[in-house]
């Protein structure tokens, strides 16, 4: 298949590039040009104006595919557009004039991964544009191909900084695009298209109303997609757990609509009113599971507004309670000497029908929250708000089959029907087989009950076609987000058909949670609205380094600290089984959902509770005054780059011990499996080895495990084909590669290993999950492994693997030595390509290392660097020696 | 901290009321069986004792009122959930004054009172089933749609749904909470019809139990007390 060929090509290393098809080499120059352009965005902006004159040429690119083919002549003159180098960038200007036909490829475009740094995002965006144009040709473009492309882009990112590298890939990517097109003709004008796309466009000023009422203004390219703007806003807010949020705009009918991240903004708003609002799109059923306080804070802002506006109805008592938490969060403890406390209360709106009595009550309750930090107050606010029956319910006006006015509410659990103030019906997602709309009718097909034989369809009348479609979209998105492990690919929808090709394109809650469990940054400071005082966010408190003693406690419970990261990460995963069980397997959303039983709910509840208590624990732990100055944050930085030799870790002699934990995630992208694995570890003593492996052959990574205990866990990334808990079984993958790399790593150990003791995490859950694992593709593997690493040996990979040592960096301080090595392996075999990136971080030292922190950091970095790859494995290898023979 | 959600089955107080002598002769009933007043009082005492000693509730005892023969069935006069108390407007005209004593008692407990003032609304507490997560209001001879709506207004935190009551006096004449997330319901045909509605609305497990031996005065155990979950600082 062409696709595969394409992706292979692009994945190839320099060495193979010479072999690239000749027609591509022609474009090499212009490509490099493009790249340059894309990178130096600033420059381009200035140039936009210069090329007004060229407008005429661009027209063809907006013509529909079929038209293009006919007119091939006029377009075949790539020369016209090629030479222009940077100036060919006339794009935007033209767009205004030209009517833009729908481009098929667009809607289908896969949502980009988000955990990228802002600059990467931008770049990606640029690239996705180019993709989009490429996609224009093959109308029936499949997700497969796109992801392949994307992967190439990612790979690119990996190598970022090496211009040459990028150029070549660009080139190859193009080759791929052409391959997909399958028509020589097509490919000819593709390059001009891309060229133009890539280049600077006209900028538009967007106004985004944030939830605290402030305005955020930014410029975006006129053709930018929704997600570009969305990312910009998230960046501005310093928000990482983005998936629960979205941008809205008001359409010409005064209806609030969600901006589709995958589509061009311009085509959605259909007006010159570039005005948006940032809002919560999916209300997390349990906000305590959110990772960051800033996310909870933003959710609070939304809910305060929901409550004050009456959208989220609550009783007098609840109004007062929520209001009191808001006061505590915004103003801190009630101060008795404050002249008129009620003054400030009166200025805030807590309820639609706020009165003195309520304010008194709020005030009274506020007093009782003394000592509560803003983050705690927010958490309490959410704990109460989440229980409200209308929490997260998106209401739509409708009529039932008899023309009676009702309201349809879409939420995490399903569809609710209200009449007046009463809930008259309820359709949980598992009960719904299909959702569709036709004209102004909205239909749900209901799974037959135990006693019934046939499925039934319930219809509702919406005001008009638009509202029916809007409701349908909201349903599709909510269902995907809350019920699925991974979003459905738009092309081959089975569950929700009919109507548009629209599918939820973002990450699901499951994915989001997994992703955010990897977040490891110092809690960002943020200002709260009314007070504008600096958040006393708990997570912002100085970190506490964990000593051995602390670690012991972690054994039985959880380390309250940033443990999150090794230990809790696994736990986090554990939690999911419940989740996953409760969720329909992707392949058969129907049947599995049916079997939902109370038991499952319970388990889940328990787990959630557990989780909650842990976060509580974490919170309280964080709250404690920092006992010791050592700051892991610094440590993080060191790990990344700067050799800051001043870090003080708690010196402590510990007896010999070794820990190994590895986690395997996998993801199935079109042509192959791309994954990333990483490991980090800390040892209180002499050596610390960490291996970060990013690998395209998800399956192949496991084999080398010395001793492996499989503990399937929640999917990090969706995959469409089942993968057994074990490994292998993915047809396209070549286990060989991975194996090689790994065995390589097992080469002679530099640091003397005194004793190796394997500690396996999450075994307990294995049994429970095995069953799921067979259905649910994504698995997490726990295995134990001893790897000794030596950077020098990496390069000379055995078996002639075309591996490339990307970077190696060593940071040394008094007591610690950190070496980070990135190793990329690309293989091509039988039409399948595989990219595997392995990162190793070796920390050697004779002092205490917060290895959880180190692991988390390593994972986070890997995720950021390769947003589209997944972590296949995390191996933590820890060696501790009693005697100080090292260093 | 004031608990927003009462949850199910966690109570601190119970309001009960004595049995007036008029109960035997004048209380509303659907069967004509003879009522032994002394025995009824004995039973009631034992019941209150259980609430007080076995369940450890703080019992607030209201004196019986001879002019209100049904006053022992306090459940109908008020619905309490969390810190909110809805004073109902009972379907039976003769019982409307029962609320006075109840209102005073609830006020003393510092609850947030909501009155049902709408003249068209009727609601008996016996038709209100609180599951810990949602309310079900039985539409019966004593309770109408409007009453349910007002209840929904009073307890905005919760979803409120109605279910038909085709037999018996009250919804809780044939169903009751059997525990958290568990609704126990009678096996009679009308009860089963109600069950159908339940099934479509809730996620609780339903266990049909035989409940054919109806109490003489259409009473069920829940009807003789108003349970309150009262936290210290409200």
Residue A514 above 60 pLDDT? yes
Among the listed residues B231, A350, B126, A412, the one whose alpha carbon sits nearest the alpha carbon of residue A342 = A350
Between CA A720 and CA A726, with CA A725 as vertex, the angle to 5 degrees is 120
List A residues 315-374 in contact with B (Cβ-Cβ < 8 A). Answer: 315-318, 321, 365, 368-369
In degrees and rounded to multiples of 5, residue A710 shows phi and psi of -85, 130
* Pairing label, strands A687-695, A832-845: antiparallel
Mean pLDDT throughout A518-541?
Answer: 56
Which residues of A are less than 8 Å from B134 in CB distance?
389, 423
Say yes or no: A214 contacts chain B, CB-CB below 8 A: no
Say yes or no: A380 contacts chain B, CB-CB below 8 A: yes
A315-352 pLDDT, tens per residue?
888 999 999 999 899 888 887 666 555 566 666 788 88
Give the model's pLDDT for residue A528: 73
Give the model's pLDDT for residue A655: 28
Query: If you average pLDDT over every residue of chain A, what do you get?
Result: 57
Handedness of CA A232, A234, A240, A242 (dihedral sign): negative
Between CA A705 and CA A713, with CA A708 as vertex, the angle to 5 degrees is 115
Give the model's pLDDT for residue A6: 34
Q: Give residue A272's pLDDT band: very low, low, confident or very high (50, 70, 90).
A: confident
Chain B interface disruption, residue of A313, A314, A318, most B CBs within 10 A: A318
% of chain B surpassing 70 pLDDT:
80
Which residues of A are less than 8 Å from B116 in CB distance?
none
User: Which residues, in sequence order, are CB contacts of B55 under 8 Å at separation 6+?
Assistant: B11, B14
Please say whether the beta carbons of A835 and A151 come within 8 A.
Answer: yes
Which residues of B are less than 8 Å from A420 in CB distance?
149, 152
- Look at A210-219, A516-525, A766-775 and tell me which has the smallest mean pLDDT: A766-775
Query: Which run of H or E residues covers position A424?
Result: strand A422-428
Among the listed residues A210, A42, A196, A217, the one whose alpha carbon sits nearest the alpha carbon of residue A119 = A42
The chain A residue lying nearest B86, using CA atoms, is A315
Residue contact B233–A368, C-beta within 8 A: yes
- Look at A106-110, A616-620, A821-825, B144-148 and tell me which has the smallest mean pLDDT: A106-110
User: Which residues, in sequence order, are CB contacts of B191 under 8 Å at separation 6+?
Assistant: B167, B174, B175, B185, B208, B211
* Pairing label, strands A803-812, A660-661: unpaired
The pair of three-digit structure tokens given for residue A225, joined into one six-digit string: 């997609």
Between CA A539 and CA A544, with CA A540 as vertex, the angle to 5 degrees is 75
Q: For residue A427, what is the DSSP state? A: E
Residue contact A318–B152, C-beta within 8 A: no
Residues in chain A: 887
Q: What is the ipTM of this complex?
A: 0.83
Residue B207 above 50 pLDDT? yes
Please say whether the beta carbons of A720 and A695 come within 8 A.
Answer: no
Q: Alpha-carbon distance A279 to A258, whole Å?
A: 9
Q: For residue A722, what is the DSSP state? A: -
Residue A412 above 70 pLDDT? yes
Residue contact B161–A424, C-beta within 8 A: yes
Q: What is the DSSP string of A120-157?
A: HHHHHHHHHHHHHHHHTS-TT--HHHHHHHHHHHHHHH
Edge-to-edge order in the sheet of strand A441-446: A422-428, A414-419, A405-410, A394-399, A456-461, A441-446, A432-438
- Look at A563-577, A691-705, A739-753 and tell me which has the smallest mean pLDDT: A563-577
- Look at A29-38, A405-414, B15-24, B37-46 and tell me which has the smallest mean pLDDT: A29-38
Say yes or no: A604 contacts chain B, CB-CB below 8 A: no
* Pairing label, strands A203-209, A215-221: antiparallel
Give the model's pLDDT for residue A854: 67
- Look at A175-179, A498-502, A723-727, B92-96 and tell me which has the smallest mean pLDDT: A723-727
Tell me the nearest-neighbour CA distance from A574 into chain B, angstroms: 25
For chain A, the helix, strand and coil percentages under 3-state DSSP, each to the nearest 5: 45, 15, 40
The chain A residue lying nearest B113, using CA atoms, is A316
Chain B interface disruption, residue of A395, A422, A605, A606, most B CBs within 10 A: A422
In degrees and rounded to multiples of 5, residue B210 shows phi and psi of -75, 130
Q: What is the DSSP string of A30-46?
A: HHHHHHHHHH-HHHHHH
The partner residue sitting opposite A388, judged by closest CB among B83, B152, B157, is: B157
A198 CB neighbour count, 10 Å cutoff = 25
Among the listed residues A321, A309, A306, the one whose alpha carbon sits nearest the alpha carbon of residue A362 = A321
Between CA A641 and CA A644, with CA A642 as vertex, the angle to 5 degrees is 140
A183-232 pLDDT, tens per residue?
333 334 444 444 444 556 688 899 999 998 889 999 998 888 898 999 99
**Cβ-count burial B85-114 (b if 16+ within 10 Å, e if not):** bbbbbbbeeebeebbebbbebbeebebbbb
B2-47 pLDDT, tens per residue?
334 445 667 889 999 999 988 887 777 766 777 888 888 998 999 8
- Look at A9-18, A50-59, A434-443, A494-503 and tell me which has the smallest mean pLDDT: A9-18
- Look at A23-37, A93-107, A278-292, B194-208 and tell me which has the smallest mean pLDDT: A93-107
Query: Which run of H or E residues covers position A327?
Result: helix A316-331
Handedness of CA A465, A470, A475, A481 (dihedral sign): positive
Query: Which run of H or E residues covers position B96?
Result: none
Q: Alpha-carbon distance A61 to A133, whole Å?
A: 8
Residue contact B1–A368, C-beta within 8 A: yes
Q: Which of B44, B170, B204, B224 is catalytic?
A: B170
Whole-structure pTM value: 0.53
Q: Alpha-carbon distance A712 to A763, whole Å?
A: 9
State yes or no: is B223 an active-site residue. Answer: yes
Which residues is B161 bridged to in the sheet?
Answer: B136
Q: Alpha-carbon distance B169 to B167, whole Å?
A: 7
The partner residue sitting opposite B160, judged by closest CB among A368, A384, A423, is: A423
The residue with tokens 């203004």 is A217
Which residues of A are less than 8 Å from B156 in CB distance?
313-315, 318, 388
DSSP H helix total and E strand total for chain A = 32, 23
Q: Give residue B171's pLDDT band: very low, low, confident or very high (50, 70, 90).
A: confident
A718-738 pLDDT, tens per residue?
333 333 333 333 333 333 333
Q: Give residue A56's pLDDT band: very low, low, confident or very high (50, 70, 90).
A: very low
Residue A148 above 60 pLDDT? no
**Cβ-count burial A364-397 (b if 16+ within 10 Å, e if not):** ebbeebeebbbbbbbbbbbbbbbbbbbbbbbebe
Among the listed residues A670, A652, A765, A757, the one whose alpha carbon sits nearest the alpha carbon of residue A710 = A765
Q: Alpha-carbon distance A40 to A795, whole Å?
A: 33
- Look at A22-26, A264-268, A551-555, B227-231 and tell me which has the smallest mean pLDDT: A551-555
The partner residue sitting opposite A317, judged by closest CB among B2, B137, B153, is: B2
Which residues is A839 bridged to in the sheet?
Answer: A822
Q: Alpha-carbon distance A27 to A33, whole Å?
A: 10
Residue contact A317–B202, C-beta within 8 A: no
Residue A870 above 60 pLDDT? yes
Please say whether the beta carbons of B78 and B114 come within 8 A.
Answer: no
Which residues of B are less than 8 Å from A423 in CB distance?
134, 159-161, 201
Residue contact B200–A420, C-beta within 8 A: no
Mean pLDDT throughout A451-466?
Answer: 88
Q: Determine if residue A109 is left, alpha or beta; phi over 0 gives left, psi from -120 to 50 gives alpha, anything else beta.
A: beta
State yes or no: is B13 an active-site residue. Answer: no
The residue with tokens 């180190």 is A854
Half-sphere exposure of A148 (CA within 13 A, CB side): 33
User: Which residues, in sequence order, are CB contacts of A427 under 8 Å at separation 6+?
Assistant: A414, A415, A416, A417, A444, A446, A458
DSSP-H helix ranges across B99-188: 99-108, 145-154
The pair of three-digit structure tokens given for residue A508, joined into one six-digit string: 């699901």
User: Mutual orientation of helices A374-385 and A598-623 as an angle, nearest 10°?
Assistant: 160
Q: Alpha-carbon distance A55 to B175, whole Å?
A: 75
Residue contact A387–B201, C-beta within 8 A: no
The pair of three-digit structure tokens given for residue A332, joined into one six-digit string: 């801190």
Residue contact A423–B84, C-beta within 8 A: no
The partner residue sitting opposite B2, judged by closest CB among A365, A390, A601, is: A365
Tell me the nearest-neighbour CA distance from B112 into chain A, angstroms: 7
Tell me the nearest-neighbour CA distance from B67 into chain A, angstroms: 34
Chain A interface disruption, residue of B113, B143, B157, B205, most A CBs within 10 A: B157
Q: Alpha-carbon distance A426 to B198, whole Å?
A: 10
Q: For residue B50, what is the DSSP state? A: I
Q: SS3 of A615, please? A: helix
Which residues of B are less than 8 Å from A313 in CB distance?
156-157
Q: Give residue B87's pLDDT band: very low, low, confident or very high (50, 70, 90).
A: very high
Please say whether the beta carbons of A708 and A784 come within 8 A.
Answer: yes
DSSP-H helix ranges across A386-522: 465-483, 509-517
Please say whether the beta carbons of A320 and B233 come within 8 A.
Answer: no
Residue contact A313–B156, C-beta within 8 A: yes
């Amino acid at each position: 298949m062409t696709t595969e060929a394409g992706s292979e090509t692009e994945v190839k290393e320099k060495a193979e590039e010479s072999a690239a098809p000749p027609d591509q080499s022609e474009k090499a120059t212009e490509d490099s040009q493009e790249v340059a352009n894309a990178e130096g965005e600033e420059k381009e902006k200035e140039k936009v104006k210069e090329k007004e004159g060229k407008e005429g040429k661009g027209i063809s690119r907006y013509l529909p595919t079929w038209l293009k083919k006919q007119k091939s002549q006029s377009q075949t003159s790539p020369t016209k557009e090629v030479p222009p180098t940077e100036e060919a960038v006339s794009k935007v200007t033209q767009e205004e004039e030209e009517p833009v036909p729908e481009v098929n490829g667009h809607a289908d475009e896969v949502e980009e991964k988000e955990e990228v740094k802002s600059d990467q995002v931008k770049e990606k965006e640029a690239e996705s544009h180019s993709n989009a144009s490429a996609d224009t040709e093959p109308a029936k473009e499949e997700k497969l191909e796109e992801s392949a492309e994307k992967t190439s882009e990612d790979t690119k990112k990996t190598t970022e900084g090496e211009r040459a590298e990028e150029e070549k890939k660009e080139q190859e990517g193009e080759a791929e695009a052409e391959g997909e097109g399958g028509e020589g003709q097509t490919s000819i004008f593709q390059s001009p298209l891309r060229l133009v796309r890539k280049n600077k466009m006209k900028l538009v000023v967007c106004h985004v109303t944030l939830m605290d009422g402030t305005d955020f203004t930014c410029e975006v390219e006129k053709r930018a997609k929704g997600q570009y703007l969305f990312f910009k806003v998230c960046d501005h807010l310093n928000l990482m757990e983005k998936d629960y949020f979205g941008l809205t705009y008001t359409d010409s009918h005064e209806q609030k609509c969600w901006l589709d991240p995958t589509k061009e903004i311009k085509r959605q708003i259909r007006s010159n009113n570039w005005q948006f609002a940032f809002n919560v799109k999916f209300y997390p059923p349990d906000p305590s599971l959110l990772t960051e306080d800033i996310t909870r804070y933003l959710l609070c802002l939304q809910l305060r507004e929901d409550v004050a506006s009456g959208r989220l109805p609550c009783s007098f008592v609840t109004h007062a309670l929520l209001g009191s938490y808001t006061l505590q969060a915004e103003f801190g403890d009630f101060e008795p000497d404050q002249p008129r406390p009620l003054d400030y209360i009166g200025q805030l709106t807590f309820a639609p029908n706020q009165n003195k009595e309520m304010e008194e009550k709020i005030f009274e309750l506020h007093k009782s929250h003394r000592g509560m930090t803003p983050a705690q107050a927010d958490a309490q606010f959410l704990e109460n708000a989440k229980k409200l029956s209308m929490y997260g319910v998106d209401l739509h006006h409708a009529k039932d089959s008899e023309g009676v006015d009702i309201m349809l509410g879409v939420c995490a659990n399903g569809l609710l029907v209200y009449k007046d103030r009463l809930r008259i019906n309820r359709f949980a997602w598992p009960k719904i087989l299909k959702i569709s709309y036709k004209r102004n009718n909205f239909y749900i097909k209901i799974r037959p009950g135990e006693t019934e034989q046939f499925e039934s369809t319930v219809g509702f009348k919406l005001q008009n076609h638009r509202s029916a479609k809007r409701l349908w979209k909201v349903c599709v998105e909510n269902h995907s987000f809350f019920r699925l492990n991974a979003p459905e690919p738009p092309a081959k929808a089975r569950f929700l058909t009919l109507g548009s090709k629209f599918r939820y394109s973002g990450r699901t809650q499951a994915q989001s949670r997994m992703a955010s469990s990897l977040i490891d940054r110092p809690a960002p400071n943020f200002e709260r609205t009314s007070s504008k005082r600096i958040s006393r966010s708990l997570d912002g408190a100085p970190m506490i380094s964990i000593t051995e003693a602390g670690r012991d406690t972690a054994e039985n419970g959880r380390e309250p600290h940033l443990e999150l990261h090794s230990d809790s990460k696994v736990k986090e995963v554990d939690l999911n089984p419940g989740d996953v069980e409760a969720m329909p397997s992707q392949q058969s959303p129907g049947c599995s959902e049916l079997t939902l039983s109370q038991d499952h709910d319970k388990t889940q509840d328990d787990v959630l509770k557990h989780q909650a208590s842990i976060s509580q624990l974490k919170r309280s732990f964080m709250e404690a005054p920092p006992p010791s100055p050592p700051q892991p944050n610094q440590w993080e930085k060191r790990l990344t780059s700067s050799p800051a030799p001043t870090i003080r870790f708690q010196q402590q002699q510990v007896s010999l011990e070794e820990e190994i934990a590895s986690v395997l995630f996998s993801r199935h992208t079109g042509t192959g499996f791309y994954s990333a694995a990483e490991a980090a570890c800390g040892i209180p003593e002499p050596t610390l080895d960490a291996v970060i492996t990013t690998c395209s052959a998800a399956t192949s990574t496991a084999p080398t495990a010395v001793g492996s205990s499989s503990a399937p866990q929640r999917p990090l990334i969706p995959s469409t084909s089942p993968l057994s808990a074990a490994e292998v079984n993915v047809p396209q993958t070549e286990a060989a590669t991975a194996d090689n790399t790994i065995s390589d790593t097992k080469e002679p150990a530099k640091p003397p290993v005194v004793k190796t003791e394997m500690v396996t995490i999450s075994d307990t859950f294995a049994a429970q999950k095995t069953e799921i694992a067979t259905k649910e593709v994504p698995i997490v593997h726990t295995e134990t492994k001893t790897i000794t690493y030596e950077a020098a040996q990496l390069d000379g990979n055995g078996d002639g693997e075309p591996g490339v040592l990307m970077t190696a960096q060593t940071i040394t301080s008094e007591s610690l030595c950190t070496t980070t090595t990135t190793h990329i392996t690309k293989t091509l075999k039988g039409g399948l390509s595989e990219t595997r990136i392995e990162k190793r971080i070796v920390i050697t030292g004779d002092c205490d290392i917060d290895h959880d922190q180190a692991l988390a950091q390593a994972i986070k970095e890997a995720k950021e660097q390769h947003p589209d790859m997944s972590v296949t494995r995390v191996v933590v290898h820890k060696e501790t020696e009693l005697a100080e023979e090292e260093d | 901290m004031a608990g927003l959600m009462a949850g199910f089955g966690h109570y601190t107080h119970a309001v009960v009321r004595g049995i007036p002598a008029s109960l035997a002769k004048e209380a509303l009933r659907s069967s004509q069986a003879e009522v032994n007043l002394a025995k009824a009082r004995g039973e009631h005492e034992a019941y209150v004792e259980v609430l007080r000693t076995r369940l450890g509730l703080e019992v607030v005892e209201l004196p019986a009122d001879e002019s209100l023969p049904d006053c022992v069935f306090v459940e109908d006069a008020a619905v309490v959930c969390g810190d909110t108390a809805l004073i109902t407007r009972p379907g039976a005209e003769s019982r409307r004054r029962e609320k006075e004593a109840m209102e005073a008692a609830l006020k003393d407990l510092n609850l947030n009172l909501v009155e049902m003032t709408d003249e068209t609304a009727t609601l008996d507490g016996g038709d209100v089933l609180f599951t810990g997560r949602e309310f079900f209001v039985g539409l019966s001879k004593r309770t109408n749609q409007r009453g349910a709506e007002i209840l929904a207004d009073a307890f905005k935190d919760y979803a409120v749904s109605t279910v038909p009551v085709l037999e018996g006096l009250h919804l809780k004449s044939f169903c009751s909470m059997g525990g958290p997330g568990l609704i126990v319901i009678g096996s009679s045909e009308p009860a089963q019809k109600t069950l159908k509605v339940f099934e479509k609305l809730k996620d609780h497990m339903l266990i049909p139990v035989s409940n054919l031996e109806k109490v003489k005065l259409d009473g069920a155990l829940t009807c003789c007390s108003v349970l309150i979950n009262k936290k210290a600082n409200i």
